[in-house]
Amino acid sequence: MKKRTALQFILPALVVVTLPYIALSAQKGSKIDSSQSINVEVGTVTEQDFPQYIESLGSLSAVKTVSISSVVDGQISKVFFSNGQSVVKDSIMIELDTRLAEASLQKAQTTYDAEKQKYDRYEKLNSEAITAISQQALDDQHVALETAQQELVIAQTQLDQLKIKSPFAGVLGEFKFIPGDYVSAGTNLVQLVDITQLLANYNIPQDSLPLLKQGQTVDIQVGAYPDKKFYGTVNYISSEISVTTREASVQALAPNPDGLLKPGMFINAKQKVGEDKNVLAVPDQSVLADLKGYYVYRVIDNKASKAYIKLGTREGGLAQVNSGLKKGDTIVTVGQQKLQDGSALTILPSSSKS
């Protein structure tokens, strides 16, 4: 009896395994059944006005920020805030040891009160023409009163300098000191940032400069809030072009009433620079894509006809069409994912489910 080789055993098995794959491939590559109608909804290619945008990446920065420091040396006595706290303008944030300053103020106040009382008595006597008080004595007492008043103002100022206040409303950063710490004049104690409005900073290529104007609106998006849009207004366009990037710096002022935006955040900025009038538009949902590009299905004689298009701006649920369609064309807006070129269509009323 003749021995069968390994190849003779393997070949029949390969045939058995391969046949279903060939059958499946043939089924996938077969022509569609034009008699099987697919339910779709349709719309019409219209003309719309579309905004023109220039997009750029950038970041946010604070309009107002300051490092809070003391103007005098002293020991921290009290801290009236916690890290990250919001403060109003002129609120006391940090107080240095005020005991000596308060004693000096009390002494200056007592001296002033005594000199004022003495001056008032001299003035009264002088007005009554009593010769016991000369004009010179009254003038000397007036000088003494003014000196005491100046000393009182100085003492009050020295006390006020020990109470460090916020120069504007904002949010405080990290405070690394504790009561009892001694700080020198000029030492940075904490950062104060006004986040009620921020600056969006980004760059625009030099070729687009003729389109830029102050006052143009900017759509701002950040990764932390992907479904939320923020807005700004251009308030600065650099008059210089970078020699390395050939771009101009642009800034937009962005209101931030809810405090969601933070300085340093990475942004995508879309600056509106104009408007295209009466351009072709289709519903954004009607547009599909494959390796060749974007396309829609036109409706011709109740059949689907694949039409490749060139897109422009997408805005408000609409897509601008630069080529591939004409005004009045009927296109599939719902159900197009089930279609192939030549599919028979059953057109449903708008808003019906396929």
Tell me the CATH architecture of domain 53-63+197-276.
Answer: Beta Barrel (2.40)
Q: What is the DSSP letter of 130?
A: -
71-96+163-186 — its CATH code? 2.40.50.100
What contacts 277, CB < 8 A, 6 or more positions away? 49
C-beta of residue 84 within 8 angstroms of C-beta of residue 171: yes
- Cα distances from 178 to residues 77, 80, 171, 175, in angstroms, run 9, 11, 19, 8
pTM for this one?
Answer: 0.63
If you average pLDDT over residues 35-60, what whole number do you get? 90
Under CATH, what is the fold of the domain 98-161? Answer: Helix Hairpins (1.10.287)
Q: How far apart are CA 190 and CA 174, in angstroms?
A: 6
Question: Residue 129's pLDDT is what?
Answer: 60
Q: Cite the residue boundaries of each domain of the chain with CATH code 1.10.287.
A: 98-161
Q: Terminal CA-to-CA distance of the chain, rounded, Å?
A: 66
Q: Cite the residue boundaries of each domain of the chain with CATH code 2.40.50.100.
A: 71-96+163-186
Least confident among 16-20, 49-53, 95-99, 321-325:
16-20
User: Collapsing DSSP states into helix, strand and coil, what is residue 239?
Assistant: coil
Q: How far apart are CA 169 and CA 64, in angstroms?
A: 10
**Predicted confidence (pLDDT) per residue in 200-233, tens digit:** 999 999 999 899 999 999 999 999 999 998 999 9
Q: Cite the residue boundaries of each domain of the chain with CATH code 2.40.30.170.
A: 53-63+197-276
C-beta of residue 281 within 8 angstroms of C-beta of residue 320: yes
Question: Residue 176's pLDDT is what?
Answer: 92
Q: How far apart are CA 23 and CA 94, in angstroms?
A: 82
